[in-house]
Amino acid sequence: MFFLDSIWLIPMFPLIGAVLMLLFGRRLDPQHPLGPPEDDGHDSHHAPSPGRKLIDLLCPGMVLLSFLFAVGAIIQLQGVDGHRYEVVKWTWLAGLDSGTEVGIRAFTADWGFLLDSLSAVMMLVITGIGFLIHVYSTGYMAHDGGYYRFFGFLNLFLFFMLVLVMANNYVLLFVGWEGVGFCSYGLIGFYFRKQSASNAANKAFIVNRIGDAGFVLGMLLTFSALGTLTFTEIGPALEAGGFHAESAWGPLTVIGLLFFVGATGKSAQLPLHVWLPDAMEGPTPVSALIHAATMVTAGVYLVARSSAIFTLAPNAMLVVAVVGGLTAIFAASIALVQYDIKKVLAYSTVSQLGYMFLACGVGAFWVGIFHLYTHAFFKALLFLGSGSVIHAVGGEQDMRKMGALRDKIPVTYKTMLVGAMAIAGIPGLAGFFSKDEILWKTFSSHHTLLYGLGLLTAMMTAFYMFRLIYMTFFGDNRVAPGTHVHESPRSMTLPLVVLAVGSVLAGWIGTPPVFGPVHDALPSLEHWLSSSVAVEGAHGGADAEHHSALLEWGLMALSVGLALFAIWLSTRLFRTAKYEGEPMHGLVGQGVHRLLLNKYFVDEIYGGAFVDGAAKGGGGLMVRFDRRGIDGAVNGVGGLTRGSSSGTMFFDKWVIDGIVNVIGFGTKLVSYPVRMFQTGLVQNYALHFVIGVGIVAGYYLFR
Partner 1 sequence: MSEHILSIIWLTPLIGMLAVMCLPKENKALIRIVANGFAVLGLLVTIPMILAFDKTNGDFQLVERFDWIPALGAQYYLGVDGFGYLMIILTVVVGWLSILCSWASIQDRVKEYYAFFLFLQAGMLGVFMVLDVFLFYVFWEIMLVPMYFIIGIWGGGKRLYAAIKFFLYTLAGSVLMLLAMLTVYFKHFELFGNYSFAIEDLMRVAAYTGPDMQFWLFWGFFVAFAVKVPMFPFHTWLPDAHTEAPTAGSVILAGILLKMGLYGLVRFAMPMFPKGVTDDLTVTLVAVLSIVGIVYGALVSLMQTDWKRLVAYSSVSHLGFCTLGLIAMNPNGIAGGMLQGFNHGLSTPLLFLAVGVVYDQRHTREIADYGGLANRMPIYTVLFAIAMFASMGMPGLNGFIGEFTILRGALEVSVVWTAFAVLGIVLGAAYLLWLFQRVMLGPIKNPKNEGLKDMNAREILVMAPLIAGCFWIGLYPKPYFEILEPPTNKLVERLDPAYFSSGAPELIEGEVELSQARTEDATTSE
Does 370 bind partner 1 (CB under 8 A)? Our answer is: no
Q: Which string of x and - marks every residue 556-595 that binds partner 1 (by CB under 8 A)?
A: ----------------------------------------
- Give me the helix-helix angle, 365-392 and 430-444, nearest 10°: 140
Amino acid at position 395, single letter: G
> Which residue lies nearer to partner 1 by CB, 7 or 359?
7
Does 6 bind partner 1 (CB under 8 A)? Our answer is: no
In whole angstroms, how close is the CB of 650 to partner 1 at the nearest point? Answer: 22
| 525 CB-near residues (< 8 Å, 6+ apart) | 121, 366, 369, 370, 373, 509, 510
Q: What's the Cα-to-Cα distance from 80 to each of 73, 125, 181, rounded to whole Å? A: 11, 22, 33
Contact 479, 402 (CB under 8 A): yes
Q: Which string of x and - marks every residue 598-627 that binds partner 1 (by CB under 8 A)?
A: -----------------xx-xxx-xx--x-
Does 396 bind partner 1 (CB under 8 A)? Our answer is: no
In whole angstroms, how close is the CB of 96 to partner 1 at the nearest point? Answer: 4
| 431 CB-near residues (< 8 Å, 6+ apart) | 374, 375, 378, 422, 423, 424, 425, 503, 507
Of 178, 278, 437, 552, which lies in the binding site for partner 1, with binding defined by CB under 8 A?
178
The closest alpha carbon to 56, from 182, 123, 160, 140, belongs to 140
Q: Which stretch binds partner 1 (CB under 8 A): 233-241, 355-363, 407-415, 534-542?
A: 233-241
Does 98 bind partner 1 (CB under 8 A)? Our answer is: yes
Does 223 bind partner 1 (CB under 8 A)? Our answer is: yes
Of 117, 228, 412, 559, which lies in the binding site for partner 1, with binding defined by CB under 8 A?
228
Does 659 bind partner 1 (CB under 8 A)? Our answer is: no
Of 6, 31, 232, 397, which lies in the binding site for partner 1, with binding defined by CB under 8 A?
232
Does 23 bind partner 1 (CB under 8 A)? Our answer is: no
By rule CB under 8 A, what count of residues binds partner 1?
79
In whole angstroms, how close is the CB of 614 to partner 1 at the nearest point? Answer: 9
Does 221 bind partner 1 (CB under 8 A)? Our answer is: yes
Q: Which stretch binds partner 1 (CB under 8 A): 172-180, 267-275, 471-479, 546-554?
A: 172-180
In whole angstroms, how close is the CB of 38 to partner 1 at the nearest point? Answer: 8
Does 68 bind partner 1 (CB under 8 A)? Our answer is: no
Count other Cβ atoms within 10 Å, centred on residue 217: 16
Does 216 bind partner 1 (CB under 8 A)? Our answer is: yes
In whole angstroms, how close is the CB of 623 to partner 1 at the nearest point? Answer: 5
Does 189 bind partner 1 (CB under 8 A)? Our answer is: yes
> Which residue lies nearer to partner 1 by CB, 16 or 217?
217
Does 14 bind partner 1 (CB under 8 A)? Our answer is: no
**Residue 87 — φ and ψ, nearest 5°?**
-125, 120
Q: How far apart are CA 226 and CA 242, in angstroms?
A: 11
In whole angstroms, how close is the CB of 282 to partner 1 at the nearest point? Answer: 14
Does 37 bind partner 1 (CB under 8 A)? Our answer is: yes
What is the per-residue DSSP string for 663-675?
HHHHHHHHHHHHH
Classify 135 as helix, strand or coil. Answer: helix
> Which residue lies nearer to partner 1 by CB, 178 or 437?
178
Does 26 bind partner 1 (CB under 8 A)? Our answer is: yes
Of 68, 76, 107, 487, which lies in the binding site for partner 1, with binding defined by CB under 8 A?
107
Does 79 bind partner 1 (CB under 8 A)? Our answer is: no
Q: Which stretch binds partner 1 (CB under 8 A): 99-107, 311-319, 416-424, 667-675?
A: 99-107
> Which residue lies nearer to partner 1 by CB, 486 or 616?
616
Q: Is the dihedral of CA 463, 468, 473, 474 positive or negative?
A: positive
Tell me how far apart the terminal alpha carbons of the chain are, to the nearest angstrom.
Answer: 139
Contact 160, 183 (CB under 8 A): yes
Does 233 bind partner 1 (CB under 8 A)? Our answer is: yes
> Which residue lies nearer to partner 1 by CB, 151 or 185?
185
Does 104 bind partner 1 (CB under 8 A)? Our answer is: yes
- Give me the helix-helix angle, 365-392 and 341-361, nearest 10°: 180
Q: Which stretch binds partner 1 (CB under 8 A): 194-202, 453-461, 565-573, 667-675?
A: 194-202
**Residue 33 — φ and ψ, nearest 5°?**
-50, -30
> Which residue lies nearer to partner 1 by CB, 145 or 454?
145
Does 205 bind partner 1 (CB under 8 A)? Our answer is: yes
Q: How far apart are CA 59 and CA 39, in angstroms?
A: 25
> Which residue lies nearer to partner 1 by CB, 119 or 412?
119
Contact 42, 394 (CB under 8 A): yes
Count other Cβ atoms within 10 Å, centred on residue 628: 11
* Pairing between β-strand 84-100 and β-strand 103-116 as defined by DSSP bridges: antiparallel
> Which residue lies nearer to partner 1 by CB, 97 or 543?
97
Q: How far apart are CA 51 and CA 6, in angstroms?
A: 31
Largest CA distance in the chain: 161
Q: Which string of x and - marks every residue 109-148 that binds partner 1 (by CB under 8 A)?
A: -x-x------------------------------------
> Which residue lies nearer to partner 1 by CB, 103 or 673?
103
Count other Cβ atoms within 10 Å, centred on residue 343: 20
Residues 240-269 that bind partner 1 (CB under 8 A): 240
Q: How far apart are CA 672 and CA 264, in angstroms?
A: 98
Classify 115 as helix, strand or coil. Answer: strand
| 634 CB-near residues (< 8 Å, 6+ apart) | none
Question: Which residues lie across from 90 on neighbouring strands?
Answer: 111
Does 94 bind partner 1 (CB under 8 A)? Our answer is: yes
Does 236 bind partner 1 (CB under 8 A)? Our answer is: yes
**Burial (Cβ within 10 Å: 0-12, 13-18, ≥19) of residue 424:** buried
Torsion, CA 561, CA 564, CA 570, CA 573, rounded to 10? -80
In whole angstroms, how close is the CB of 227 to partner 1 at the nearest point? Answer: 7
In whole angstroms, how close is the CB of 192 to partner 1 at the nearest point? Answer: 4
Of 131, 140, 153, 174, which lies in the binding site for partner 1, with binding defined by CB under 8 A?
174
Residues 638-657 that bind partner 1 (CB under 8 A): 638
